[in-house]
A and B are shown apart, each in its own frame.
Chain A
Amino acid sequence: MITTFLGHELKAFWRSKNTGKSIAIRVVMALLILYLFACILFAGLFLDKILEESFPNDDVVISFCGIILLYFLFDLIMRMQLQELPTLRVQPYLHLPVKRNTVVSYLAFTAMLSVFNLWPIILFIPFVLKVILTDSGALPALAFVLAILGFMLFNNYLALFIKRKANLNGWVFLVFIATLGLIITGDFRFHLYSVHNISYLYFGHLLSKPVLVLLPIILAVAMYYINFAYLKQNLYLEELSSRKASAYKSSTEFPLLNRFGKVGDLVANELKLIFRNKRPRSALVMGLFFMFYGLIFYTNSHYGQTWYIFVGMFMTGIFIINYGQFMYSWQAAHFDGLLVSKINFRDFLKAKYLLFTMVSTVAFILTTPYAYFGWHIVLVHFVMYLWNIGVNTTIVLFFANRNAKSINLSKGASFNWEGVGATQMLISFPLMLTPYIIYLPFSLFKHADMGLAMLAAIGIIFVLTRDFWVKKLEEDFMQKRYTIAEGFRNK
C-alpha cells in the first residue's frame, strides 16, 4: 500500500503545475537548486577550515561539537517558518478502505521528505567522515552520524507536531516561538548558559562514550510516536488542514482612497488582496526587509555611486519588482469576474500605477534615514524613486500583459515556483539594465551628476505621460486578454 502511495506521490510531483514548465525554466530552476546545494556541500566539505578560521583558539573538533546543537536550534526556527505540513494530500484516501495505520505511517514517512532533512546531512557528515573518522575511529563516527540524524528527525517531527497543534490553537505557535526566543536571548543576550557549551558537553562525551547516541535516537523515536499517535487520533480533515480556525473577519475601508473614485476602490481591493493572502503578504514583508539593503553598501566605501543607483532602485522599488513581476497573476482566481464586471481597463491600469506610486512613496520615506550616510544618497534614492514610479512601473505592466500563469494566493512564497515563467526571467533585463544604459555613458565621461539628472528627467517624463502609456497598455491588453484569461482559468 505504501508503494502505491509513493507512486501517487511521484505522479503528483511530476504532474504538478510547477514541474510541467517549459524546458528553459526547468533548467534554470535546476541550476539554482544545484547552486544552492553546491554551496552547502562546499561549506560541508570545508567545514574544518571554516571552523579553524572562525574559532582559531579552539580545537576543530571542539568547535564542531559546539555548533551542532546551535545549528539545530536555528533549524527548528527555520522549520517553524518554512516547513510545509504534508497533509491535505491524504484526503482522497480517507474514505477508502485503507487502514488508518497505513495512512498515518505514510503521512509520517512523507514528512521526512523535506529539504530541511538534507541540509544537516550534507553540512555535517563530510566533517564526521573527514575528521572524526580519522581521529577517533569508526565507532564514534557512526555515533556522530546517528546522533545528527536523531536530532534532525526529532526536530522534523517536533516542528510538525507544534505546527499541527498550532492549527487548532494559534497560541501554541506563539508560546513555542517565544520559548525559542527566550532560549536564544538567554544565551546570547544574558549569557545565563551557553548552547555552545551544552552542545560540546554532549558531543564531546559522545566521542569517548558512543553509547550516549541512544539519547537523540530515543528522542527522535519518542517524537515520532507522539506525532504518530496524535495524527491517528486526529485524522479529520479540519484538524489536518493547514487552514487556521478562523476568527471573525471584519470589513475594512481605506477612507484615504475614496477620493480617487473607482480607481481608489480598485486599489483598496488590491491592498486587501495583499494583506489577506499569504503569498502577496510575504512579498510585501520581504520588501520591508529590503529597506536594510543599503546598510550593506553604504557602510562599505568600496561601493561608489554606480552601486548606489542599483541600491536606490531596489529599496524604493522592491515592491514594484517583487510584486509587480507576477501581475496580473495575483488576480487570476477572479479574473473572469473582473473582465465581465463594469471595470474600465484604463481604471484598472491606473489603479496599478496608483498602488505602485503609493508603496514606492512609503518606501522612499522609509529610506530617508540613510541621510546619515550623506544627503547625496537621499538624492540618489529620490532620482531612483522617480525612475521607479515612471519607468519601472510601465515596464512591469508591459510584461504583465504577457503573463498568463495563475497563482494560488494561499501558499507561502518561500521555495514557491508557482507563477514563475519566462516573463519573470525576461523582466529582469530591462529592469536592471535600462538605468545603467542611461547613466553609465555620463559617468564614464565624469559627468555622473548629468547621468542622475537624465534618469530623473526620464522618470518625470514617464510620470507626466502616464495617460499615454495607459492607453498603449490598454490597446496591448485588448489583444492579449483572451490568452491571459485562458491561462488563469487553467489552474
Chain B
Amino acid sequence: MIEVRNLKKIYNGITVVDVPALQINKGESVGLVGNNGAGKTTLFRMVLDLIRAESGEILSNGEVVAGHEKWKDYTAAYLDEGFLIDYLTPEEYFYFIGGLHNLNKAHVDEVLTSLTDFFNGEILKKGKYIRDLSKGNQCKVGVAACLLQEPELLMLDEPFANIDPSTQFRLKNLLKDLNKNKGVTTIVSSHDLNHITDVCDRILLMEKGVIIKDIATSSSTLNELEAYFGVMSPSEEKGI
C-alpha cells in the first residue's frame, strides 16, 4: 500500500526524518510511537504530500505521492484542527466532504447515524461552528469526516490525545472494525502505549527521525515499549 524509499527531511541542518526503506502492506494496522520531535507528524505530512522531502520518495499503491492526486481517492487523514474548515457547522462540513466523494446527503446522513454512539450527542444539531467545539469534539469531527470517505488508507495523528475515555474506547473499536472487517489499512500515531498496542498489529518506534524498531505486536510488545520509554529521563516520559 505504502512504500517509502530513502526518505529524508532536513530542517535547518537537522535531519528530522530519515527512513531508508519502509513497506506497509494492504490491510495492515500500523502504530507509530515515539517521543515529541521524533518525526511522526513530519512523516505523516510527507505521506500526504504536504511537505516536500529533501530526497527519496513515497509510493502509494505503486504511484509516487508527490505531485499526484490519485491517492486522494482512497486516502483519508486527520492530523490536526488545520484539516477542518472551522467556520462551518459539523453538518455542513460533512456534506461538503461527502460531496467531494460524490456522496449524496442521504448517504452522508446514513453514515452519520451509524456514528451516533461515537458522537455521543455532542456534534450534530448543536448549533455551533466547528471552531466553537472543544478540541476533543473537533477530533471527533475530523475522524468522522475520514470515515465518511470510506478510505482504503486511514491516517490519524494522535487521535486519542484529546478525547474522553468513552470516545477513546469507541474509537479503538471503530479502528479495529475497519481494519479487521473492512480491510482498511490504518496508520495511527499515539503516545498512549496501551491503546496503540491494543489497536495495531505492527508498531514502528521512531527516535530522532529514524525508525529504530519495527515489531509485530505480541503479548510482550507493551513491556518492550515501556522498557524503551522508561530508559528516558522521567521528564520526557509522558503517558498521554
Name A residues whose Cβ lies closer than 8 Å to a Cβ of B.
Answer: 246-252, 262, 265, 269, 272-273, 276-277, 333-337, 339-344, 409, 478, 482, 485-486, 489
With A and B bound together, what is the CA distance between A277 and B86 in angstroms?
A: 10
Q: Are B89 and A250 in contact (CB under 8 A)?
A: yes
Q: Are A409 and B127 in contact (CB under 8 A)?
A: no
Q: Which of B69, B101, B132 contacts A344 (CB 8 A)?
A: B69
Q: Are A341 and B72 in contact (CB under 8 A)?
A: yes
Name the distance in Å between B168's Cβ and chain A's nearest Cβ. Answer: 23
Chain A residues with CB under 8 Å of B129's CB are: 249, 276
With A and B bound together, what is the CA distance between A336 and B48 in angstroms?
A: 9
Name the distance in Å between B236's Cβ and chain A's nearest Cβ. Answer: 24
Name the distance in Å between B8's Cβ and chain A's nearest Cβ. Answer: 15
Chain B residues with CB under 8 Å of A342's CB are: 69, 72-73, 100-101, 149
Name the distance in Å between B103's Cβ and chain A's nearest Cβ. Answer: 11
Q: Are A269 and B100 in contact (CB under 8 A)?
A: no
Per-residue interface assignment for chain B, residues 6 to 19, with 1 indicating a CB less than 8 Å from any chain A CB and 0 otherwise: 00000000000000
Q: Which of A247, A248, A251, A334 contacts B85 (CB 8 A)?
A: A334
Chain B residues with CB under 8 Å of A344's CB are: 69
With A and B bound together, what is the CA distance between A247 and B129 in angstroms?
A: 11
The listed residue with most B CB atoms (<10 A of its CB), out of A265, A273, A336, is A336
Q: Are A485 and B100 also in contact (CB < 8 A) when A272-B88, A340-B83 are?
A: no
Interface residues of B in 179-209 (CB under 8 A from A): none
Chain B residues with CB under 8 Å of A248's CB are: 127
Interface-facing stretch out of B56-64, B90-98, B212-220: B90-98
Chain A residues with CB under 8 Å of B161's CB are: none
Name the distance in Å between B149's Cβ and chain A's nearest Cβ. Answer: 8
Q: Apart from A337-B84, A342-B73, what 10 extra A-B contacts exist at CB < 8 Å?
A: A251-B91, A251-B92, A273-B85, A333-B82, A334-B86, A336-B79, A337-B82, A339-B49, A341-B72, A341-B97
B67 at the interface (CB under 8 A from A): yes
B99 at the interface (CB under 8 A from A): yes
The listed residue with most B CB atoms (<10 A of its CB), out of A251, A334, A342, is A342
Chain B residues with CB under 8 Å of A265's CB are: 96, 99-100
User: Can you name 19 A-B residue pairings with CB atoms under 8 Å?
Assistant: A248-B127, A249-B89, A249-B129, A262-B99, A262-B100, A265-B100, A269-B88, A269-B96, A277-B87, A334-B82, A336-B83, A340-B50, A340-B77, A341-B100, A342-B73, A342-B101, A342-B149, A486-B51, A489-B82
B238 at the interface (CB under 8 A from A): no
Q: Are B51 and A485 in contact (CB under 8 A)?
A: yes
Chain A residues with CB under 8 Å of B51's CB are: 482, 485-486
With A and B bound together, what is the CA distance between A478 and B69 in angstroms?
A: 11
With A and B bound together, what is the CA distance between A54 and B149 in angstroms?
A: 68
Q: Are B92 and A272 in contact (CB under 8 A)?
A: yes
Chain B residues with CB under 8 Å of A252's CB are: 92
Q: Are A340 and B72 in contact (CB under 8 A)?
A: yes
Interface residues of B in 101-155 (CB under 8 A from A): 101, 127-129, 132, 149
Q: Are A333 and B97 also in contact (CB < 8 A) when A246-B128, A339-B50, A485-B51 are?
A: no
With A and B bound together, what is the CA distance between A344 and B127 in angstroms?
A: 30
Q: Are A409 and B87 also in contact (CB < 8 A) when A340-B72, A342-B73, A485-B51 are?
A: yes
Chain A residues with CB under 8 Å of B92's CB are: 251-252, 272
The listed residue with most A CB atoms (<10 A of its CB), out of B75, B82, B100, is B82
Chain A residues with CB under 8 Å of B80's CB are: 336
With A and B bound together, what is the CA distance between A68 and B60 in angstroms?
A: 71
Closest to B53 in A: A482
Name B residues whose Cβ lies closer than 8 Å to a Cβ of A.
Answer: 45, 48-52, 67, 69, 72-73, 75, 77, 79-80, 82-89, 91-92, 96-97, 99-101, 127-129, 132, 149
With A and B bound together, what is the CA distance between A339 and B87 in angstroms?
A: 18
Name the distance in Å between B65's Cβ and chain A's nearest Cβ. Answer: 11
Name the distance in Å between A40's Cβ and chain B's nearest Cβ. Answer: 37
Q: Which of B67, B77, B84 contacts A334 (CB 8 A)?
A: B84
With A and B bound together, what is the CA distance between A230 and B164 in angstroms?
A: 36
Name the distance in Å between A248's Cβ and chain B's nearest Cβ. Answer: 3
Closest to A336 in B: B82
With A and B bound together, what is the CA distance between A246 and B87 in angstroms?
A: 13
Chain A residues with CB under 8 Å of B99's CB are: 262, 265
With A and B bound together, what is the CA distance between A486 and B99 in angstroms?
A: 27
Q: Which of A273, A336, A478, A486 contacts B87 (CB 8 A)?
A: A273
Name the distance in Å between A407's Cβ and chain B's nearest Cβ. Answer: 13
Chain B residues with CB under 8 Å of A409's CB are: 87
Q: Are B48 and A340 in contact (CB under 8 A)?
A: yes
**In the complex, the 7 A-B pairs of residues with the closest C-beta atoms, listed nearest first:** A248-B127, A337-B83, A482-B52, A276-B87, A342-B72, A336-B82, A342-B100
Closest to A340 in B: B48
Q: Which of B73, B79, B82, B128 contacts A249 (CB 8 A)?
A: B128
With A and B bound together, what is the CA distance between A334 and B100 in angstroms?
A: 16
With A and B bound together, what is the CA distance between A335 and B51 in angstroms?
A: 12
Q: Which of B50, B127, B149 contacts A250 (CB 8 A)?
A: B127
Closest to B100 in A: A342
With A and B bound together, what is the CA distance between A336 and B127 in angstroms?
A: 25
Chain A residues with CB under 8 Å of B149's CB are: 342
Chain B residues with CB under 8 Å of A340's CB are: 48-50, 72, 75, 77, 83
Closest to A247 in B: B127
Q: Which of B50, B83, B97 contacts A485 (CB 8 A)?
A: B50
Q: Are B83 and A333 in contact (CB under 8 A)?
A: no
Q: Which of B45, B82, B89, B101 contacts A335 (CB 8 A)?
A: B82
Name the distance in Å between B1's Cβ and chain A's nearest Cβ. Answer: 17
Chain B residues with CB under 8 Å of A269's CB are: 85, 88, 96
Chain B residues with CB under 8 Å of A343's CB are: 100
Q: Which of B79, B82, B89, B132 contacts A251 (CB 8 A)?
A: B89
Name the distance in Å between A250's Cβ and chain B's nearest Cβ. Answer: 6
The listed residue with most B CB atoms (<10 A of its CB), out of A250, A273, A334, A486, is A334
With A and B bound together, what is the CA distance between A250 and B92 in angstroms?
A: 9
With A and B bound together, what is the CA distance between A337 and B50 in angstroms?
A: 10
With A and B bound together, what is the CA distance between A272 and B129 in angstroms?
A: 11
